[in-house]
Structures are given as structure tokens and as C-alpha cells.
Structure 1
Amino acid sequence: MAKLQPVQFSSAPGVILNGSLFLPEGPPRRTIALNGATGVPHGYYARFAAWLCEREQAVVMTYDYRDFGDSAGGSLRSSRATMAQWGAGDQSAAADFLLETYPELPFWVIGHSLGGLFVPFYAQAEKVQRVIAVASGPAHWTRHPLKFLPTVLFFWWIAGPLSTVLLGYTPGRRLGLGFDLPKGVFWQWRRWCLSMGFYRADWGGVLPQPRFEAVRCPVTLVSVSDDVMLPPKAVAQLQNFYPHAAVDHRTITPKSIGARQIGHIRVFSERNAAAWPAILAVG
């Protein structure tokens, strides 16, 4: 059984992130950073992380991005966090922590949605030995199913901007996003999702220049057939962000795991645990 241990690490001067380490009973074979989706606290992944720890005999780390969840430090209205800081900053810091704490072990990244987008921005990207990106890709409103378009356009153009301006943060709980978000995260997320280039416009500015050539490990893209937020065709676009890697794309269907539905978030819920081996499978 996995042993649970609280963990803290620094992402930037004055920025401390909190999370959990799942430690196997015997000597670990590898380390895995489990990067969460936007608005999803790290505790949501605990069951999957414990299963992953036992299955892979791995040290697995979950954590919350700055000014969110267990890493929240003050008023959400005063937060200056951005999505670029969550991805290029906090995810890279999580990788650094595991690589420096366990330098002798192979290092993997498993990212959910936002968590699978930023490996080329990591300071030590060349040390990542496998990437598994689940329901992750450059979202754009044209890549959603037609039935979901009214919802997504209402969110990006009316509900999201109006509530964020009025409240000083994005009320994710009320808008069905999970948890509340810093306003800077919302505005940058909106900018990227309304641009066909996604975050390319910010390279070399608020985002550092990506080092595509550093990521040459196997990359597995996992899509979910009934995911309306990141449907398979959007996930497929992520292969363009890993041009030097060997990329495998597979799709999990509800029928394949005996479920009625899975969706964007619940692929990591315990009720859909039958999907977990498919996430790890080597194509």
C-alpha cells in the first residue's frame, strides 16, 4: 500500500507549493509528477496516484498550482497568478523537485489537460523519460462538438468575463469549473482558447521560448471519446507541440471500460478506474 506524505517545494522566490508524495513500500523504480487540470485540486487525483504508485513502484507527486487549492496563500482577489506561471513555472518546479530529490531514478510526467501542455518549457525537459498527456491539447472553440458551442461561447464571452470583472476572481464553483480561479489565470486561458495558435503568441514574452528539441522521449496522448471540452481532434493537435518525440495517440471510449460516460474530468475518478491501465499502456 502507498504511503502518503505531505510535500512542499518552491516554484519561485516567495512561492511555495503544497502537495502530496505517494511512496511505494519497496525501493522505487521511478518518479512521476502528476500535473492537474485547471480548477481541479490535487486531492482529486489521490486514488489514481495511489494506484499508480503501487502499479509502477513509483514515487508519485500531486500538488496544487500557486494561489490555488492547498497552495493558496491569501485573498484570491489579490492573486497575480497566470496560466503561464502555472504551466511553465509550477510544473517545471515540480519536475525540478523530483529530479533533484531522486536524481538516480527515471522521471515521468503524467498531465491532465493543462498538465500535459508545458513539458517543452521545463528547465530540465531533456531528463523526462516519458510523457502521458490525458485529455490535453490546444483548445479552441472551433474544436468543440456543435452541441457544446453555446455553452463554451457563453462562458468565454459573457459568464466568465462578467463574473471575473465583478468579483475580482473567476467563480469556478458557480460556473461548473471545479474550484475558483485567480483572474489572471482566467484571462490568459481565455486569450489562448480564443486563438488558433493557442499560447504561441506568448512565446518569448510571458512564456519563455519552448525547447522542443529537448523532448525526445515517448509521448502518449490519451483522449476520451465523449470529452466535449478536449475532444479527440483537439488532443490530436498536441502532437505538433512535441515535434521531436515519438507520439502515440489513443482514445478511450466509455464502452471499452464498461461505463455509461467518462467526460473530461472523470477519467481520473475511482468509478472509472477501469480506464487507468489504458492510460499507462504502451502502444
Structure 2
Amino acid sequence: MNAHLDVGYEERFFYSGGHKLHGRLYRPAKAPRAVAVLHGATGVPHRFYRDFAKWLAETQDIACLTYDYRDFGASARGPMKASNATMADWGVHDQQVARDHLRNSFPDIPLWVIGHSLGGFMLPFQKDLNQIDRVITVASGPAHVTSHPFPYRFLAATYWYLTGPIATFLAGYMPGKRLRLGNDIPSGVFWQWRRWCTSRGFFAAEIGNGLPMPDWNGLKAPLKVVAIRDDVLIPPATIWKLMQFYPEAPITQLTIDPLSYGLEQVGHIAAFSAKNRALWPDLIA
């Protein structure tokens, strides 16, 4: 426990394919009414979600587990250029293990999955979807390089076809920090992510070859799909394509307009930033 927090937290460790993952569980002062595992976006460390997870525990009585994928953030164990991690490792295996860890820790409490970007579209490739009681996805959808509005589409094309490949080839990993494009990620994550975002079928070509066979009908829990109006990475029209991945789930949709909350912008990442906490009640409502 930490005296500086109004809620308690515990460091949590669990293993995915021999990789030790580091997470943190935020717990309310009383027995939680639900528990939530928060699957983060690509290249976003779990510490970024700290304020949101703390808010869930403090104000909603929901225990929340945040964590970092293998070979990234707090789960990094050695030089990134030595990593053989892929996007599938993060989105299928690591997400599964984190969810199982939380389910085993709280077997009799409703289980929520909150997915940010990558965290929201990999559930069909996972097991035991019947154990999930609710799913909330934020800024998550199968984006293609042509999905982005102009002029950002030019920047995305440059990243996928020029800057990203050259930098990753030279460094042995995607040097996001050096390029001022976020955090560093393993090369295998970058290359698989690039294939999906430059393919019309997104990850379809890798099903059965790099990705397990999906259970498209497995999720039957309520699903809330949240789009951010000023998100140029995954615009609302692309967000709604996510719904085809979950045909059996009862779905509600929400488009967040930053101006209606008195905010200038939110974009793809910042919905979980403390400066935008005005959004949070509507994200989970």
C-alpha cells in the first residue's frame, strides 16, 4: 500500500510465455463491485493509465489492473533489439494472461475488459470470453492507411512506408523516442502492426498463420464502443467497423466530442489522460 494514494494498490506479476509481466492493481477502500483489466494501446506504458485506474477505484468502487506487455515498459527485461515479441504476443497471449490473472484473483466478482486501441480488437482470438461481464473499447478499430483523414494520411503513409521501416531496420527495433513518435517498441511488433495497417483485410491474412482461429461469436457480454471525434489515427467511421468482430454482443456506441466537454482536443491517446477526466464518467456509463 502507498500512503500517498487514497486507494490501495498492489504490484502484480504474472507470466506469459515465459515472460514476466509487471502490472499494478488499484483497489477501492471497500469490496469492489466489479474488477477491470485495462489493455493498453500500442506503445503506451501502463503508468499512463494510473490516474484513470485510480479514479475507477476511488469513485466507482471498481478494482483496476493495468500492466505492460512483454519486453515493453515495466515488463522490459533486456535490450529491446533482442526482443522477438509480436503484436499477436501482446494482443492475444499477454492480454489473455492478464485477464486470467484478474479473474483468478476475483473469481466471484463481475469482470470488465477496458481496451484502448490494440486493447479492444483482439478478444476474438482469446479464450473464455464467456467469463467477461462487460467490454468497453476506446479508440479501437481496424485502421488501414487510407482510413485517416488528410493531411494526416500523408504522415501515416510516410511512417508505414518510409520512416518506420528504415528506422526499425537500422536500429533493430522501432525507435519511437528518437523519432519523437512515442515510445520504442520491438521490431516484431512494428512489422506485424505495419502489415495489418497496410492490408485491406487488416489481420485477416494472418489468421491461422500467426494468429489463432478466432471465435467471432464468443463475446456475448454488453459491449460499449467509444470513438473520439478528433481522433485522426482511428476516426469514428473506422471505430464502427470494430462491431463486426463481435456480432453476438449487445452493442452501444458513443462518440466523444471534445468541445462538448470544454476541451480543445483529445485525439487517439489522451482520453485516459488526467487533464481529460471530464470524459471518464461517460466512458464507463
User: Per the shorter chain, which TM-score range?
Assistant: over 0.9
Please identify runs of 4+ aligned residues in structure 1 that moved more than 4 A. none
Structure 1 match to 2:195: 191
Name the CA distance, whole Å, in 1 between partners of 2:97 and 2:172.
27
Residue 3 of structure 2 corresponds to none
Establish whether residue 215 from structure 1 lines up as the match of residue 205 from structure 2. no
How far the C-alpha of 1:55 sits from its partner, in A, is 2.7
Secondary structure at the counterpart of residue 217 of structure 2: helix
Which of 65, 71, 83 is residue 79 of structure 1 equivalent to?
83
Matched residue, 1:272:
276
Q: State the secondary structure of the residue aligned to 2:30.
A: coil
SS across alignment from 1:243: coil
Q: 2:37 aligns with which of 12, 26, 33?
A: 33
What do residues 247-267 of structure 1 show as CA deviations (whole Å, max 9, x unaligned)? Answer: 112100111111011111111
TM-score of the pair, normalised by structure 2: 0.96
1:93 corresponds to: 97
* Alignment partner, residue 148 of structure 2: 144
Root mean square deviation of aligned Cα: 1.0
Report the 3-state secondary structure (helix = DSSP H, G, I; strand = E; otherwise coil) of the residue aligned with 1:65.
coil
Q: Deviations over 1:141-199 (max 9, x none)?
A: 11110211110000000000000000100011133432100000000000000111111
User: How many Å separate the matches in 2 of 1:22 and 1:245?
Assistant: 28
Give the equivalent residue in structure 2 for 1:3: 8
In 2, the alpha carbon distance for the partners of 1:88 and 1:252 equals 28
Q: 2:246 aligns with which of 229, 242, 248?
A: 242
2:258 pairs, out of 246, 254, 258, with: 254
- What TM-score do you get using the length of structure 1 for normalisation? 0.97
In structure 2, distance between residues paired with 1:58 and 1:278? 15
Q: What SS does the corresponding residue of 2:146 show, helix, strand or coil?
A: helix
* Secondary structure of residue in 2 paired with 1:146: coil
Identity %: 47
5 Å-filtered alignment, 1:101-180, equals: 101-180=105-184
Could you say what secondary structure the match of 1:212 adopts?
coil
**Given that residues 92 and 121 in structure 1 are in contact (C-alpha distance below 8 angstroms), is that contact kept between their aligned partners in structure 2?**
no
Distance 1:126 1:177, change over 3 A: farther
**What is the alpha-carbon distance in structure 1 between the residues aligned to residue 105 and residue 9 of structure 2?**
17
Structure 2, gaps ≥5 residues long: 1-5
Deviation at 1:115, TM superposition (A): 0.6
Q: Render the CA deviation track for 1:84-136: whole Å, top value 9, x for unaligned.
A: 00001100111111111111111000011001111122222111111100000
Distance in 2, Cα, partners of 1:32 & 1:204: 29
- Are 1:45 and 2:49 matched, yes or no? yes
